[in-house]
Amino acid sequence: MIKYNLECDNNHEFESWFSDSNEFDKLSKKKLLDCIFCDSIKIKKSIMSPGILNNKNKIKNSKKINHKEYTKVKKELIKLRKFVEKNFEYVGSDFSRKVRDVYYDKKNQKNIYGTTTKKERDELKEEGIDLISIPWVKKKN
């Protein structure tokens, strides 16, 4: 898995996880990436740097987490969750079957979300069905 910072042509910035470094390019070419804020499909990777820490630095720096930044990111993830819950149908653990129904029936443009196992995700990927995983932050904590 790899995480990229992304930016749309309206200058909205967000992050997303991909199965490997080529996955972004494949999804982008198929126009399957869109901005979580405005639905623009003109998405590019923005500048990012890896966070590599050894155990000593991890312990030292873990206390320096900026609470303001953490709160901001959490609010954005909650906003994303609310958007998905409002605009997509929850199909639970039946997601793997339902997403195939949507994918193979080109007339059906239903938005769905749910859960899958790693095996199901791998099988869907082999069929050419690309998925996006979203960190599901609790609304209240």
> How do residues 81-99 score in pLDDT, each as one tens digit?
899 999 999 998 899 999 9
> How do residues 16-54 score in pLDDT, each as one tens digit?
888 777 888 888 889 888 888 888 889 988 655 555 555
For the segment 104-133, the average pLDDT, to the nearest whole number, is 86
pLDDT recorded at residue 60: 52
pLDDT recorded at residue 117: 87
Residue 83 pairs with which residues in a beta bridge? none
pLDDT recorded at residue 52: 57
Gap between the Cα atoms of 39 and 43, Å rounded: 10
